[in-house]
Structure 1
Amino acid sequence: MLTEGNESAGATFVLLGFSEFPHLQAPLFLVFLAIYTITVVGNLGMIVVINIIPKLQTPMYFFLSHLSFLDFCYSSVVTPKLLEILVVEDRTMSFKGCMTQFIFACTFAITEAYLLAAMAYDRFVAVCNPLLYTAAMSPKLCALLVAGTYTWGALCSMILTYSLLKLSYCGPTINHFCCELSALLSVSCSDTHFSQMTCLVICTFNEVCSLLIILASYVFIVVTIIKIPSTGGLRKAFSTCASHLTAIAIFHGTLFVLYSVPKSKSSWLFIKVATVFYSIVIPMLNPLIYSLRNKDVKETVRKLIHTKLLSHSV
């Protein structure tokens, strides 16, 4: 039995992962390794491209570079441990390691939700007030918005982690591949009401607030787009927002599915698959979504590749 307080600090959990499918361990390892490699290359590549090309030194790409950073960090918090438990027999994780993984994953997830909201506000200013865009989205405001999202994400995750630290845990086996909140609550042998209510309040508040900001921004954007007389203007306005809307739909849609599933024994496989998509697949998709739908990024990458090829051929 894992007790609360300092006594639990030296305890360990056993992560089951996908051990119910022993014949799939090797294929899953290869698939997740490939996804993680694409995630690292894609997100770090986006950050490098955005920071070295003067043309991309705009508020939109400033937010996008932080989105790539969050996706890289979130995936790096979860994926390496998943890869480890797929190939080694020792699937243990220390209590401190588990809490550390949880607090960082929670911080990055909440921060990303509000960063997507800040990006929606950025698109609102770009479409509705294009002449004032540079002045309205000043470097100082952009920095404050990003700092605010990180600060709020860290604060919420510390509160949630504190609620977990107050619990006692019996049975070290966690039916998951990471220290996800519902999985940790399922192995607690103390009253989890406070933790559940804390999670409900924080998650509901953050989802409602971030989605309201996004919804309000896009209501004004749609109204403005409808008033644009030319077809070219309409196409440009829609292309400006398409990538961001795609990222929002995938992020919040998966989050809604993950936390609307009842936590029964029969649903744990679905929860694990949804968590894989949320924490591993989405961080890979975001740089692809923005690079494939963004002419500036595609042209920049094409020029960099062309320059590299020319330098090697000389």
Structure 2
Amino acid sequence: MGSSNTSFRQGFILVGFSDFPHWSSFFSVLISVFYSLTLFGNSAIIILSQLDARLQTPMYFFLCYLSFLDLCYTTNIVPQLLINLQGHDRTISYGGCVAQLFLFLALGSTESVLLVVMAFDRYVAVCRPLHYTTIMHPLLCLSLAIASWVGGFNNPLFQTSLMMVMPLCGYQLNHFFCEMPILLKFTCEDTGGTEAKMFVARVVILVFPVTLILGSYTNVAQAMLKTKSMAGCKKALGTCGSHFVVVSNFYGAAIYTYLQPQGSYSESKGKFVSLFYTIITPMLNPLIYTLRNKDVKRAVWKVLGRGTDSG
């Protein structure tokens, strides 16, 4: 057990994508472009929502929070990854690794809760349209947003605390950031009990929210079936479709990574799946929500000075 504290003294070396040396420059350019688009797209949603009165609704209030989360979520990972790809410094201190792990889990857990809140908002909009403004009162919206942050930060506090007391051996992580599945591979002794506790925590933050969201969309589907108006069905699909795509992308990748048995976790595949939900998904979210959104398009033209309030 003499080497069990090596990682505590020296920190870690992030292998990243150095096992694909000929692709380093390509990855660096591609990720820089994706990160720039993520910053632009999510910042644009936040700014437009503040500038246009028609976007100051509960739906866009929560979308602003999602965009802010995605900005923080990606920024926690990408700068370190870009440095890693340049090959100048692939090391990360133990404290930096723990901080990155905690922030990643906290922001991801908060987004998981927020997506449930957004599903509730869409449920009320479709199933209780006459009471929408009464139910989705600004005070309730603010309370739900705060609750998503509080709930999101409690879960990773528990998981990170468990991780910190586990004895770790080795210092070379075959990943581009400090993620829980890869760290668990460096434990020096049997951690079945601790992993079981972590698994329960992951089920709470992933499976339970998915169940609530699916329940919400079941009610939305039933409401759509009762709607004889084709225009009403189309509006409901437009209202909920974007959120459903975002939910599928987020939970699909997260469940694949965090709910599979630790023994079957593939480091190589894990890196590319992580690349998808840490970089590509936050870049796609603004496009998914705004591509066919007339309100956002009007807001863009208005800001550019080419639109009118009457549009």
TM-score by length of 1: 0.93
Deviation of 1:305 (Å) = 2.5
Aligned to 1:124: 123
Contact 2:14–2:90 (CA<8 Å) still a contact in 1? Answer: yes
The correspondence of residues 268-283 of structure 1 with structure 2, limited to 5 A, is 268-283=267-282
C-alpha deviation, 1:240, in angstroms: 0.8
Give the aligned partner of residue 37 of structure 1: 36
The alpha carbon displacement at 1:11 in A equals 3.0
1:252 is aligned to 2:255: no
The worse-fitting range, judged by mean Cα deviation, of 91-100 and 247-256 is 247-256
Take 2:86 and 2:30, find their aligned partners in 1: how far apart are those partners?
A: 13
Partner Cα distance (2:175, 2:194) in 1: 19
Give, in whole Å, the separation in 2 of the partners of 1:21 and 1:261.
Answer: 26
- Deviations, residues 156-186 of structure 1 (Å, cap 9, x unaligned): 1110110011012211111111100011111
Separation in 2, partners of 1:68, 1:287: 8
Partner of residue 92, structure 2: 93
CA distance in 1, matches of 2:25, 2:157: 35
2:173 match: 174
AA of the residue aligned to 1:235: K
Q: Is the 8 A contact 1:173 1:187 kept in 2?
A: no
Written as runs of structure 1 = structure 2, the 5 A alignment for 1:93-172 is: 93-172=92-171
2:199 and 2:259 in contact (8 A); partners too: no
Question: TM-score, normalized by length of structure 2?
Answer: 0.93
Separation in 2, partners of 1:70, 1:141: 20
How big is the shift at 1:231?
1.0
For 2:72 and 2:165, how far apart are their aligned partners in 1?
27
2:217 match: 218
Q: Does the 8 Å contact 1:42/1:287 carry over to 2?
A: yes
Identity of aligned residues (%): 38
Matched, 1:242 2:244: no
Alignment check: 8 A CA contact 1:261 1:267 kept: no
**Partner amino acid for 1:268?**
E
8 Å contact from structure 1 (residues 39, 284) kept in 2: yes
One-letter code aligned to 1:126? A
Q: Deviations over 1:3-37 (max 9, x none)?
A: 29xx93x5310000011111111110000000000
1:117-152 per-position Cα deviation (integer Å, ceiling 9, x unaligned): 111100010111111101101111111111111111
Residue equivalent to 1:23: 22
Residue number in structure 1 paired with 2:5: 3
How many angstroms apart in 2 are the aligned matches of 1:192 and 1:75? 30
Which runs of 5 or more residues in structure 1 are unaligned? Answer: 309-314
The alpha-carbon distance between structure 1 residues 44 and 203, as it changes in their structure 2 partners (threshold 3 A), is same
Alignment-derived partner of residue 58 in structure 1? 57
| 2:71 aligned partner | 72
In structure 2, how many angstroms separate the alpha carbons of the residues matched to 1:72 and 1:210?
22
Aligned residues: CA RMSD: 1.8
Q: Contact 1:17–1:82 at 8 Å: present in 2 too?
A: yes
Q: Secondary structure at the match of 1:226?
A: helix
Aligned CA distance change for structure 1 residues 207 and 79 (closer, same or farther; 3 Å):
same
Q: CA–CA distance in 2 between the matches of 1:296 and 1:124?
A: 20
Q: Which runs of 5+ in 2 are unaligned?
A: none
Q: Secondary structure of 2:304's partner?
A: helix
Q: How much does 1:263 deviate?
A: 5.0
Task: Name the SS for the 1:176 alignment partner.
Answer: coil
- Deviation (angstroms), 1:266: 8.6
Point out the more displaced range, 162-171 or 182-191: 182-191
Partner AA of 2:124 in structure 1: V
CA distance in 1, matches of 2:62, 2:73: 16
Q: Which runs of 4+ in 1 moved over 2 A?
A: 1-4, 190-195, 256-267, 305-308
Q: Deviations over 1:180-207 (max 9, x none)?
A: 0011111121332243122200111222
What is the alpha-carbon distance in structure 2 between the residues aligned to residue 266 and residue 199 of structure 1?
15
* 8 A contact 2:203–2:259 mirrored in 1: no
- 1:2 deviation in Å? 5.0
Amino acid at match of 2:108: A
Q: 1:226-280: CA deviations, max 9, x gaps? A: 1111111111111111111111111111122223555569921111000000111
